[in-house]
């Protein structure tokens, strides 16, 4: 039970959701003029923070420019909290793959996807061709100046 709740929490943290006023799908994002970032552009972004608050858990993850991932997952259903630690790799086509471990829940999650820029905002999508996939809007350090 703990593993399934933790898995859902990490997937929610790394998986797409739309904020109010933000595009919900890759198609909407592209229609607004977003550009897929190259591997060099992704590397030069530096730290990107993902904050996910939900009824069952809150997740705070930072993908650092040094290719490490750090964060915390707080389960609100009595299963405690876990540190989130991991790494990310970058493919030549700009695909970023993330591997995150939650030691307290004895689990590891893996996810790959692409990074897009729309104005000063940065988004993540698990595909660069399926216009129906949902997108994640990065927060805090991901806003470009």
Is the pTM of the predicted complex or chain greater than 0.85?
A: no
Query: What is the pLDDT averaged over residues 1-17?
Result: 46
Is residue 5 scored above 80 in pLDDT? no
pLDDT one-digit tens code per residue, 67-90: 999 999 998 888 889 999 999 999
**Burial call 5-30: b when 16+ CB within 10 Å, e when fewer:** bbeebbebbbbbebeeebbbbbebbb
Confidence (pLDDT) at 1: 44
Cβ neighbourhood burial of 51 (10 Å; 0-12, 13-18, 19+): middle
Given a contact cutoff of 8 angstroms between Cβ atoms, the answer to whether 64 and 87 are in contact is no
**Burial call 106-120: b when 16+ CB within 10 Å, e when fewer:** ebebebebbbbbbee
Query: What is the pLDDT averaged over residues 93-104?
Result: 95
Of residues 60 and 11, more confidence is placed in 60
Is residue 11 scored above 70 in pLDDT? no
The confidence band for 137, taking pLDDT boundaries of 50, 70 and 90, is confident
Q: For the chain, what are the domain ranges?
A: 2-142
What single string gives the DSSP state of each residue in 44-59? HT--EEEEEE-SSEEE
């Amino acid at each position: 039970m703990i593993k399934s709740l933790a898995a859902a929490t990490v997937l929610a943290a790394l998986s797409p959701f739309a904020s109010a006023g933000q595009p919900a799908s890759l198609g909407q994002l592209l229609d607004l003029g977003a550009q897929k970032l190259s591997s060099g552009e992704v590397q030069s972004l530096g730290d990107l923070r993902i904050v996910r608050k939900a009824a069952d858990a809150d997740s705070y993850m930072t993908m650092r420019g040094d290719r490490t991932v750090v964060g915390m997952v707080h389960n609100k259903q009595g299963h405690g909290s876990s540190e989130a630690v991991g790494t990310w790799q970058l493919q030549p086509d700009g695909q970023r793959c993330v591997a995150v471990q939650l030691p307290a829940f004895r689990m590891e999650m893996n996810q790959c996807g692409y990074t897009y820029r729309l104005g000063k905002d940065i988004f993540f999508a698990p595909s660069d061709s399926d216009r129906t996939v949902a997108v994640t809007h990065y927060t805090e350090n991901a806003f470009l100046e």
